[in-house]
Structures are given as C-alpha cells and as structure tokens.
Structure 1
Amino acid sequence: MNPLHLAILLLAPLFAASDELDAVIVLYRHGDRTPVDPYPTDPYRNTSYWPVGFGQLTNIGKQQHFELGKWLRNRYGDFLPDKYSEEDIYVRSTDVDRTLMSAYSNLAGLYEPRGGQIWNANIDWQPIPVHTKPEKEDPVLAMKKHCPRYNQLMSQLFLSKEFQNIANKYKELYEYLTQMTGKTVNDIAQTEYIFNTLFIEELYNYTLPEWTNKVYPTGMQELAQLSFAVPCYTRELTRLKTGLLINEFIEHMHEAISENADNEKKRKKVWMYSAHDTTVANVLSALRLFEHHCPPYASTVILELKHNENGLRYVNVLYKNSTEARQMRLPECEENCPLNNFVALLRDVTITPDEWEEDCELDRIDPATMSMMKQMIVIGSTSIALLLTFCILIYILCGTTKKSQQTYFRLPDSEI
C-alpha cells in the first residue's frame, strides 16, 4: 500500500473524532446453520448427522451473533445506552427460525441486563422484542411478496444473450450435477444450493463424495458467487427487489434528524435487520458495492448517519464480513457521503409502498413503450382524419357532378 494512503487511513478517524452519530442502521445475515435442503443422493441427508434440523441455527451460529452483538456494543457504547429501551432500538427479522434466533442471540450480546432489568439472577439475559412479518406478505425484508413485473423481468433476463451464453457454458456442469445429485439442475440458483450444501458439509468435516472432486469448489464457485448478483442484476430489478428496504433506510435517517414532534416516536438510535446472505448481497447491489462473493455467516452492512461541527450530515457505509468492518465508498461520492448526495445516488432504486404495488402489476407500461404507443395513436388518428376528409371530398364531388348533369326539371302540374 502507498505510504500516503496508509497515513490517510490511520489518520482518518482523528479527522472525524469530533463528529457525532445521529443514527445507525444494521443489516446482517444469520449465523451458522445446517443445510436447508440436502440433495437426493446426499450421504448426509439424514438428520441424525446434524445437531439440529435442516435449515436451523446451530450453537455455533448463536455464538457468532452473540459475539457480533458484543462487537456492536463496543463500537456504539457511547451512542447506544447500556440499558435497553424501546425508544432507542427497533429490531426486525424475516419470519424464519434461524434469522429470529440470530436476532435474539445478537441482542443478548448487545444488551446485558443491568440494575432493575435483571429479572432472574440465574439468567444473564433479558427478553427484547423482535418484529417480523410472514414471508409471503413481506416485500421489504424477506422480499418474497409476489411481484409479477419482477418475475417477468427475471424471465427476460434469463432469455437474454448474456445468460443464454452462461447456460451454454455450464451445460455440462448442470448435466453432471443432475446425474450425480439425483436432482434436476439447470440454472444458477440450483447450482448455488448444492454448492452451499457441500460447503457446510465440508465445514463440519464430513468427507464429500468422490464425484465432487471434479466440480467442487472450483467448478461451481463462480456460479455460486454470481447467483447473489442475479436478483438485482439491473437497476429496475433492484428497484422492485430492494427499493422498499432502501426507502425505509432513508426514511429512518430523515426521522432521526427531523425536528417534527410527530416523528419523536419513530425516531430511534439504531434500526436492526436480521436477514439472509441474499439480503446482504441485494443491499450491497443497490449501493453499487457488491463484489461477486457468497456473503458469510453474520456478515453485516452498516449505515452510519453522522454530522460534523459545521452541521453537515453524511453517511458512512461499512461492510463487516470478517473480524473488522471495512469502510466502503459509494461510486460518485466520497467515503463520508453527504446525506443529500446519498439520497440522490439511490433515487433510481428507491420506491415507496404505493409505487411498488403499482409498478409490480403486469399491465404497467414502461416509458419507452408508452411513448411508442402515443406516437402510434397520433399517427393512427391522423390517418383516420385524412381518410375521413378524403371520403367527404369524394362524396361532395360526386354530389356536385350528379347535379350538374341534371338539366331538365319537371314543373308541377298546374291542375294539381
């Protein structure tokens, strides 16, 4: 590393020492878990091989989040009071056992009961609420509420030349995995599921089947990493997939600095979200910060809203996928990204609940198509008007010709 760059990194905290926090948003992946869905020929498909049921948080996962909670307490101890209060923090989780349990484990590390909050001398823990919503009804954090327009765009993406080339490139891999696993594998997501299962089994020191030597990890890793980029591969996909969560982040920041008394109940110091590796990747994609990888257990995205002595409010983005958090720099903005710039850079993917409901409908017409339809309507209307004008002129001309040819008129009979 360049000595000047190193010096800047070392001195950067000193420059911001007098700056103060206004709010912190924390989004993390759950901790260590068992495989969600072992493949049909998996030698470790029986639950007897595992400490808990499939897809469940293990004791290792609980400890990972307990430690993350302590790390957060150490980092934000001067900002977030030691004593829990519902006025300081709001925690939300997807409606999945492993994310809910991760949230509770994290809070156990973040809030050790003190004083009057000690309710049982034998238990160094206190219950703290974690809010959730059924997955199929949650478009914000679970991101699984049905959105026809998003599904249509995904279908179009997979039919694109780029993804057809990917399918052709890995056709033999898909066929090989299908043969060896007993499960039909024909896309990126299915490959990632098998890769993830093998990764966990290897992590637990199980001997992998001999056939895996040919494709794991090297042959599958690139696709597994790519799979986390696919849900937000375009900005329109990102807007429909992650835009509601980004909108919520921005609303929290505005609430934190609002002087409106009506926002006092909404104002929190920390907003915490317990979710999945896909959620972490989606948020990083929305921020244009995702580098192809598989987000590890307890990986964490942090948004810090701060202000300096001049009153300038700015956002720091950090990504913790190991022991320490790494500060990230948004494209087209400095590391201490001014709040107004941060909001402007994310405007293309930010969406409100009403807009999301409207834009998810399949009868929604995109601007380009609407413009083309307007042009066609104008051209059609003009053509019809010209045709009618032509017909009227023909009618008039024909009528005039007939009258000019009629030279004899019968006079009325005088007797009548």
Structure 2
Amino acid sequence: MISAMSNMFAMYPAKASDAGITYPDVNTWPTYQVEGQKVGYVPIPIHTINDDIDYTLNPDMICPRQAYLWYYVTQTQQYINLTKANQDLLNKLTAITGMEITLSNLWVVADSLFIEKTWNKTWISGITDDMYKQINETNDIIEYWNNGLQLEKYGGIDFSIEIPKIRGGSLLWSIIGHIQQKIDCIKNPNQDSCGFFNKLKYYVYSAHDTTLAALFSTLRLSHTNWNEDGYPHYSSAVTAELWQMVNGTYYIKVSS
C-alpha cells in the first residue's frame, strides 16, 4: 500500500493553489515543501483486497495444485542433493532459531537476516558472514525452483510450464485482459463496456517481490530478478506499455 501511495503521489503532484480543490484545505492535512510553499498530498483512492483471497497478486496463495507440484520438486535429485550439501547449515540454523529449517522455509531466515543487515541490526548469536553468504546463495537456487526455473523434468512434469502458470498466470492474464480491452475500445469506443477504458492511461498493481518473480517466470525469463539472481529489490517495478505503430498494429513494450 505504501508503494502504491508513493507512486500516486508522484503521478499527481499538487500546487499550493490547489488547496481546497484537489486536497483538503485544513491545517492537519499532510504537506510537503515545494519552492518554499506548503503543498498538500493529493488523496488518490487505492483499492485492495485481503492477501488470503488475492489470487492475482499473491503467488503463495493456498493452492492444492501448487502444493502438489512443490511436493514433487522436493522428490527430485536436485532438491535431495542440495539438501545434503547444506545439511550442516540447516542443522545449525535449526538449533539457532528453535524451528526446523529446511530448504523449503530457508527464505524465512534469509529475509530476516537481510532486513536486519539493511537496518544495521545485530544478528542473533551464531550467525556469521560466511553463513549469511551460504544462506543467500542457497536461497537464490530455491527461489528459482519456487518459480519453476532451472529444474529438470520429474515424473513427466515440466516444472517450467506448470509452476509459472499457477504463480504468475493470473497476473499475466489480468494484464493481457486490460490490454485487449483497451485495444477493443480504441477500435470501438462507443461500446457500453468502454466508459472506463476509453480514458484509461495507467493501471497499477502494487504487491511484492514474489509477485514480480512469478510474473518474470511466465514471461519465460531465465532469472527471478529480470537479469539477476535473487528476488527483486525494494521499489522494483515492471512496466508493460501498449504502443500503436503508424500502420495501425499494436505491440507491447516490457521494461524493468
């Protein structure tokens, strides 16, 4: 929500003369300085739904099919070999944290340590720089696998096709649906369904690093962070722009 609000504040800047028009003219309204003048933030409605029912932006939603596929990932020789190679690390982390740490939940430790490091907090006793490096390198591999990347087929399952459909497919089709509707309304603007889309210039989804990584996998990118290992960093974004050629055809420009 904070990311979405920041995005909207930048998209719709105000002037001091807008007080009482685009934002409330009251002393308690939040303001910022522009050329020595107080300017109020323009309130933009942002719609959200609970994370546990968000099948578009939450790739980790409870899904029997995803649980089924991940079970088979854990049966692959790749998963077994990576577990064996990191068993000492997993045992140490289990002892330090008081919870059983496996490859499947290693991200919990990786995230916590990253946040503490970012904010210059002291790590819990027992964590070393070498361990942190090993945790991140191992977790990067798991993040690939979470999104169906870099996995060999197992039991007739092509994870690179099946997992992305579940984790990022809903968002991809939402984007495609909006683009198709916009094109249709450009061609036929008088349709009843085009009242909203005729003026639509910008549509934003605000979610998490896991959301972007899942979307990248549906686009058949080879990395979870555009062209890097690991998940996208704070404030990362992807844009999908609809362009019309001089000959009337359309194309999509995707950038990050």
Which residue number in structure 1 is paired with residue 144 of structure 2?
A: 229
Q: Which runs of 4+ in 1 moved over 4 A?
A: none
Relative to 1, partners in 2 of residues 1:225 and 1:316: Cα closer, same or farther, differing over 3 Å?
Answer: same
Mapping 1:24-43, distance limit 5 Å: none
TM-score by length of 2: 0.78
Between the aligned partners of 1:232 and 1:192, the Cα distance in structure 2 is: 14
Q: Report the AA paired with residue 217 of structure 2.
A: S
Mapping 1:389-400, distance limit 5 Å: none
Answering whether residue 151 of structure 2 is matched by residue 238 of structure 1, we say no
Contact 2:59 2:210 (C-alpha < 8 Å) held by counterparts: no
Bigger shift: residues 274-283 or 117-126? 117-126
Contact 1:103 1:274 (C-alpha < 8 Å) held by counterparts: yes
Answering whether residue 255 of structure 2 is matched by residue 313 of structure 1, we say no
Summarize deviations over 1:104-129 as a string: whole Å, max 9, x none.
Answer: 22212221235431432654112211
Contact 2:103 2:142 (C-alpha < 8 Å) held by counterparts: no
Q: Relative contact order, CA 8 A, sep 6+: which one is greater? A: 1
Question: Pick from 120, 127, 134: which aligns with 2:25?
Answer: 120
Q: Report the AA paired with residue 162 of structure 1.
A: Q
Summarize deviations over 1:250-296 as a string: whole Å, max 9, x none.
Answer: 01111111133233134121110111111111111111225222311
- Unmatched tracts of structure 2, length 5 or more: 32-39, 149-158, 224-228
Answering whether residue 76 of structure 2 is matched by residue 160 of structure 1, we say yes
Summarize deviations over 1:357-393 as a string: whole Å, max 9, x none.
Answer: xxxxxxxxxxxxxxxxxxxxxxxxxxxxxxxxxxxxx
Question: Pick from 176, 183, 189: which aligns with 1:257?
Answer: 183
Contact 2:241 2:253 (C-alpha < 8 Å) held by counterparts: yes
Identity rate, percent: 28
Tell me by how many angstroms 1:151 deviates. 1.3
Contact 1:228 1:282 (C-alpha < 8 Å) held by counterparts: no
Tell me by how many angstroms 1:248 deviates. 0.7
Summarize deviations over 1:322-362 as a string: whole Å, max 9, x none.
Answer: xxxxxxxxxxxxxxxxxxxxxxxxxxxxxxxxxxxxxxxxx
Task: Report the RMSD for the aligned CA atoms in angstroms.
Answer: 2.0
Between the aligned partners of 1:249 and 1:214, the Cα distance in structure 2 is: 41
Corresponding residue pairs, total? 219
Between the aligned partners of 2:123 and 2:5, the Cα distance in structure 1 is: 33
Q: Secondary structure at the match of 1:192?
A: helix
Summarize deviations over 1:8-59 as a string: whole Å, max 9, x none.
Answer: xxxxxxxxxxxxxxxxxxxxxxxxxxxxxxxxxxxxxxxxxxxxxxxxxxxx
Mapping 1:17-28, distance limit 5 Å: none
TM-score by length of 1: 0.49
Summarize deviations over 1:77-122 as a string: whole Å, max 9, x none.
Answer: xxxxxxxxxxxxxxxxxxxxxxx22212221222123543143265
Q: Report the AA paired with residue 156 of structure 1.
A: Y
Which residue number in structure 1 is paired with residue 155 of structure 2?
A: none
Contact 2:66 2:163 (C-alpha < 8 Å) held by counterparts: yes
Larger Rg over CA atoms: 1
Relative to 1, partners in 2 of residues 1:186 and 1:144: Cα closer, same or farther, differing over 3 Å?
Answer: closer
Q: Secondary structure at the match of 1:270?
A: coil
Between the aligned partners of 1:311 and 1:217, the Cα distance in structure 2 is: 53
Mapping 1:22-171, distance limit 5 Å: 100-113=1-14, 115=18, 116-120=21-25, 123=31, 124-171=40-87
Relative to 1, partners in 2 of residues 1:145 and 1:181: Cα closer, same or farther, differing over 3 Å?
Answer: closer
